[in-house]
Each structure stands twice: as C-alpha cells, then as structure tokens.
Amino acid sequence: MPEELPADLAEVIARRTATLDESRPDAVERRHRAGGHTARENIDDLVDPESFVEYGRFAIAAQRARREVQDLIERTPADGLVAGTARVNGHLFGEGSACAVLAYDYTVLAGTQGVLGHRKKDRLFELIERMRLPTVFFAEGGGGRPGDTDHPVVSALDTRAFALWARLSGIVPRIAVVSGRCFAGNAVIAGCSDLIVATENSSLGMGGPAMIEGGGLGQVDPDEVGPLEMQTANGVVDVAVADEAEATAVTKRVLAYFQGATPAGTEPDQSSLRELVPERQRRAYAVNPIVETLCDEGSVTFLRERFAPELVTALGRIEGRAIGVIANNTMHMAGAITSDAADKASRFMQLCDAFGLPLVSLVDTPGMMVGPKAEATALVRHTSRLLVTGAALRVPFIAVILRRGYGLGAQAMVAGSLHEPLLTVAWPSAHLGPMGLAGAVKLGFRKELEAIADEHEREQRIRDLTAMAEENAKALNAATLFELDDVIDPADTRGLIAATLAAASEGTEPRRRHRFVDTW
C-alpha cells in the first residue's frame, strides 16, 4: 500500500500541479482553438527536456481584495508569467547551453503584466546579469494590468523591470518572440531585445486599442495596430515566421550563434562563386546565394529582409564558427548606402561586436546614396554612423570586394579604409575608385567635354574616357599599389576567411564590450 504523504507535502504537490496546463483544460482548449500554444508548451519546445528550473510558480494575481484566493490559484497561475533557467541546444554546447526563459501566458488575464510578474522579472533579470545567461522572452500580452488591487500605487512608474531589462543590453544576447497581440509594456520588452522573431498573426505596438482610443485617436482593431507586414517593412521585426512552432525552432537556431562554435558543417561547392557575379558592371544580381555559398550549408539566417533590402545582414557559420555578414544588394538601389541601410548595418555590427561574432563584409556599392530626397532622410548623420561603428569594432573584420568599391560608401563598408579590416581582398571582377567612374570622368574632364560641340562625339569621348578609367580601376591594378591585400579566385574566399579568423583567434586581445547595443 503506498505511503501516505505528509499533509504539507501533499499540499505543495497539489499546488504545483495546479500551475500546469493539464489542470486548466478549458484555458488550454481555448488557446489551441485560437491557433496558439500555451506558454508552457512554447517553453517545452524550446528547452532541453527536464532542464527547466522555474521561479515563482506559486505567484498569483494581486487581486485578493476582489477575488477569492482559490479562484486566483486556479485562474492566475504564476501571475501569468512563467520564468526560469534551462538548457537550450544542449546537444551542441553541453554545459555552455544555460539560458534564461520567460513567457507571458495569454491564458492568464491576456498576458498582462501584474505586480508579482514584475517582481519576478526583476528577480530573473538580476540573475541573468549575475549568471550571464542568454535569454529568450515570449512577450505576447496586453501590457500593464490595471485590475491588481493588493498594493498601494499611483503611477507604478517606479517599476524597475524595464530598467533592469534595458541594462542587460550588450551584456547577454536577448531574443524576443512575438505571437498574437503584444502591446505597451510587453512591446517594450520586445523592443529592448537584441532580436525579434514574430509570427504571421502578431500585432506589435506601443499602445493597444484602449490606449489609442483613450488618446482620442479613434477605434482600431487590435490586429491592425502593428501587423507583421508593417513591422517587417519598417525593420522592427528581425525574422518573420508562420507560427509559434516555427518561431521556437528559429529562436533555437538564432540563439545558437551566440552560444559558441559547432562542428564544421557541409561546405557548399565553392567553384559556383565564380559564376554568381555578372561580368557587366551595371547588371544587378542576388547577393544572398553568395552568402549562403560562403557559409556552412543550411547555417544562414537573414535578418530584417524587407527593411532596407539594399543592405543584407545575416548570421551564419564558416567551419562551425558563428559569424555576421553585411553585404550590398545590387537588386535594390544598386546597392547604394541609404540612411536605412546605414542604420541596419551599424546596429547589426554593434550586435556582433558586443557578443564576439567576427564580421565579413561583401562589398558591391556605387557609394553613398545622393540627391535632395536622400539628404532629406538625414543621410549625413545616418551614413556617418556606419563609419563610427566600424571604427569602434573589436571583433575580427574581413572585407571582400565583389565588384564595385566606389567612394565613401565602399569605405564605410570596410570600416573606413581598405586597410582597416584584418584582410581586404577583391574578386577579379572588382573595380575601385574614389567615386563612380562615369561621374569621375564627367567631373574630371568637364572642360574638355564642354569644348566638344557635337553631342555624339562628346558621348563617345565620355565612353572612351570611362573605359580608360575602368582599366585603371581594376582590382589587379589597385593591388599593384598595395591598396588591396590580394586579388583572389572567388572559390578561395571561404578558405581565406576561415584561415584569417583562425589566425585572429590565436592572439586576440581581451574584447572591450560595448556599453549597450542600440535598439535601432
């Protein structure tokens, strides 16, 4: 006959069980019917089995003045915030896989932020800093909870959670996962994170419908506040996915970049790189296949793809080592550096530098974007940010000139100078110059060209002079003056990057951590 448990132990076990999904079948069914996962299901999908150590499971909503305690126990488990430590990707990193995981529970008061939930965040955020734990936060929810009654409060602006979370910037990598509605305080959690993964049904905004209507701005459907289409185009969301299952899988992959090296992956056919850049200087081409070919097969994650598509940012691996990649994309704006492109690249470079990921820059740009419309976007300041960020890098940085390397835009892509990267090489198709060659010809030979009365003769002279400039601008010619470290067979690029990173890791000085990583 089984031994009867002591009453106090039996009570603890019963209360622990009450916090689990199986004790709340109605709430779980409603969640599933809406097409979502519960907070605990998402955590179970993310972490290694049996590794989750939960904090504050017995917390309940601070509403004893208006509800029975038993009702709060049954309906507000964990005060709507499941949080703790766990291993993620333990099969790859063993003891180095420790992480923190927090998840707002939308089945509990719409995932709102309660008094004890804030205290729980405070506790976890301080532990995260002390233990240096990478963190995943499932941030779905409606923001601050006005219904808590069990504490004296006027403004609640003394809440510390947001300051503690923001203080973690640059200290540990933080990934926010957004599915469904994520407003106000929950949105700030996402916005302060280093990376945001969001699902198709997400709506992310600083204020939900009640706040919008209260501000006299009319009635807005919750799903129209900040839908995924908007938040990918404007750069708020880093990776867009279909649903929570994909979001969790992508989050595990992205988190792994910051957890360390893995065994070397399959090397794609490097000879294909010889065919990926068109011979014609003005013909656009997709740069993503070049990134994917240089990296281990299946290891690349592109970030903020719909925002500033003229500049590609990606995380990947070369021989198992995690790296960051920035690349000009000639399919958009000819690969020119716009204000948005500069912000996108700068912030990504900060992120990689903060967490020790080497950077590879793939250059094919006509330079900085120019013209009155471009200047109206504060181009002078935004593009200069790229130079300032490059100058502050402490991680290994390698530049590869694929085709055009012109003007200040090219210099910004190589951290300010061709001799700033640890290695600067060019492909045979590359041409370099202080500005676009056609513009340089028209500027440098203006008087001569103006003296030619016949229009056709003048255009022919421009073509002849441009051809001469192109010959002079060839990478091989630049290499003879040692402006470049080497001109290489494209098929050798991956090997040279790997060898240079290996050499850099041998004698790297202690890395100076960024004070924080900009949110934008």
| DSSP for residue 80 | G
Contact 426, 450 (CB under 8 A): no
- Contact partners, residue 317, CB within 8 Å, separation at least 6: 257, 261, 262, 265, 295, 296, 299, 323
Strand ranges for 436-518 from DSSP E: 486-487
- Determine which of 141-155, 245-259, 342-356, 358-372 has the lowest per-residue pLDDT on average: 141-155
Q: Name the strand (E) or helix (H) holding 211.
A: helix 209-214
| DSSP for residue 64 | T
What per-residue confidence (pLDDT) applies to 147?
A: 84
Judge whether residue 440 has pLDDT over 80.
Answer: no
- Determine which of 98-107, 328-337, 448-457, 494-503 has the lowest per-residue pLDDT on average: 448-457
What per-residue confidence (pLDDT) applies to 505?
A: 81
Each residue's pLDDT tens digit, 373-426: 999 999 999 999 999 999 999 999 999 999 999 999 999 999 999 999 999 999
Q: For the chain, count helices (H), then strands (E).
A: 21, 17
What per-residue confidence (pLDDT) applies to 215?
A: 87
- Determine which of 32-41, 102-111, 432-441, 493-502 has the lowest per-residue pLDDT on average: 432-441
What per-residue confidence (pLDDT) applies to 149?
A: 86
Half-sphere exposure at residue 164, Cβ-oriented, CA atoms within 13 angstroms: 17
Each residue's pLDDT tens digit, 26-52: 999 999 999 999 999 999 999 999 999
Rounded average pLDDT over 63-68: 91
Judge whether residue 469 has pLDDT over 80.
Answer: no
What per-residue confidence (pLDDT) applies to 210?
A: 84
- Determine which of 51-55, 147-151, 432-436 has the lowest per-residue pLDDT on average: 432-436
What per-residue confidence (pLDDT) applies to 1?
A: 47
Rounded average pLDDT over 239-249: 97
- Contact partners, residue 94, CB within 8 Å, separation at least 6: none
- Contact partners, residue 335, CB within 8 Å, separation at least 6: 310, 311, 328, 329, 364, 365, 366, 404
What per-residue confidence (pLDDT) applies to 19?
A: 92
Each residue's pLDDT tens digit, 299-326: 999 999 999 999 999 999 999 999 999 9
Question: Alpha-carbon distance 208 to 187, whole Å?
Answer: 10
What per-residue confidence (pLDDT) applies to 448?
A: 73
What per-residue confidence (pLDDT) applies to 438?
A: 62
What band does 500 get if pLDDT is binned at 50, 70 and 90? very high
Residue positions counted in the chain: 520
Q: What is the mean pLDDT of the chain?
A: 92
Q: Collapsing DSSP states into helix, strand and coil, what is residue 260? A: coil
User: Which residue in this structure is represented by tokens 């049996």?
Assistant: 50
Name which residue leads in pLDDT, 457 or 417.
417
Name which residue leads in pLDDT, 137 or 449.
137
